[in-house]
Amino acid sequence: MANRKVIITCAVTGAIHTPSMTPHLPITQQQIADAAVEAAEAGAAIVHLHARNPETGMPDQTPALFEPILQSVHARSDCVLNITTGGSPFMTVEERLRPVSVFKPEVASLNMGSMNFGLYPMLNRFKEFQHAWERPYLEGSKDRIFKNTFADIEHILETCAGQGTRFEIECYDIGHLYTLAHFADRGLIKPPFFIQSVFGLLGGIGAHPEDVVHMKRTADRLFGTDFHWSVLGAGRNQMPIAAMSVVMGGNVRVGLEDSIWIAAGKLAESSAQQVTKVRQIIEAAGLEIATADEARSTLALKGRDKVNFESR
């Protein structure tokens, strides 16, 4: 275990939190690019990227919004860039997939199923909003499904098959692991799988230690040595879940997409601050963090010279 290196993924803005929840959420392309570089400098080997409308802060999958982010980070850092195919539940699968289709990143995220995505409890904490879309966005999650059907997943896998993009496979519940096994059995996705188990979002698996163990045990049974495991704890669960993964032999994901907190009741000032904190947990356990190139080797990625950021 002493020689194992832990891969840190950092998600710097996401689509869950709104601009009114924290003044530290990066919104503009420059802010997102700077946050990504800072997270990489703090120790993140992989940076997971969304884009937002710079005026309203709404999630936006327009390739033109991603392009300056990708080019800026690519020029300033050797970190692995991971583009979302999640976008937001208001988008079609084609809209969500467009940036990955255009820019052909080393990694893209892929949710392994449709699910209830309950954000509305956040209204108990946040009362005032800057933009007209924010409150309805949260309220509407009571009756909204994030759609990723078998047909959607198949379409994403087949679209990316020829471009060498691999996946951060986001599994919000046990059934998502079986969905991954289904597509692996069909040969549409090949190992090594990078499984990102997500805990503590309303609609998915909980954040109890037994939930974490159950996820890992099921993945072990289904995939044996063909996967690398990482965890994402939502909200206040971020660091406790990360610590569990570290001692269980896994990797970690942090960032303002997943939690806007650094301690109880205290807002994180940046995603890099969260990377620094989880790095301290890793190093306190006697382990080291993986570099970007070590993550590329572990996950069998195609390399930063085979993306389509600079050629456009």
Does residue 285 lie in a domain region?
yes
The CATH number of the domain where 177 resides is what? 3.20.20.70
Whether residue 214 lies inside any domain: the answer is yes
What is the predicted pLDDT for the residue at 310? 72
Domain assignment present for 263: yes
pLDDT at 312: 43
Residues paired with 49 in a beta bridge: 83
69 within a domain of the structure (yes/no): yes
Contact 172, 201 (CB under 8 A): yes
| Residue 311 maps to a domain | no
84 is in which domain, residue-wise? 5-306
CA 201 to CA 206: how far, in whole Å?
7
Q: Report the Cα–Cα distance between both ends of the chain, in Å, rounded.
A: 43
The total number of residues shown for the chain amounts to 312
pLDDT score, position 1? 42
Q: What is the number of domains present in the chain?
A: 1
Contacts within 8 Å (CB) and 24+ apart, 184-191: 184/223, 184/226, 188/154, 188/157, 188/158, 188/161, 189/157, 191/223, 191/226, 191/227
Residue 223 in tokens: 């995939």
Asked whether residue 312 is domain-assigned, the answer is no
Report the pLDDT value the prediction gives residue 109, as an integer from 0 to 100: 98
- Judged by DSSP in three states, 288 sits in strand
Q: 166 burial class (0-12, 13-18, 19+ CB within 10 angstroms)? A: buried
CB distance 81 to 74 below 8 Å: yes
Could you report the per-residue pLDDT of 99-144, keeping only the tens digit for each?
999 999 999 999 999 999 999 999 999 999 999 999 999 999 999 9
Per-10-residue mean pLDDT for the chain, 312 residues long? 84 96 98 98 98 96 97 97 94 96 98 96 95 97 96 96 96 98 98 98 98 98 98 97 98 98 97 98 97 98 93 44
Distance CA 43, CA 36 (A): 11
Domain membership of residue 176 (yes or no) is yes
Residue 39's alpha-carbon distances to 5, 49, 206, 279, in angstroms, are: 18, 12, 27, 11
Which of 248, 238, 308, 304 shows the shortest CA–CA distance to 275?
Answer: 238
Task: Name the helix (H) or strand (E) containing 279.
Answer: helix 271-284
Listed in sequence order, the residues at least 6 apart from 306 whose beta carbon sits closer than 8 Å to its beta carbon are 104, 106, 164
Q: Is 149 contained in some domain?
A: yes
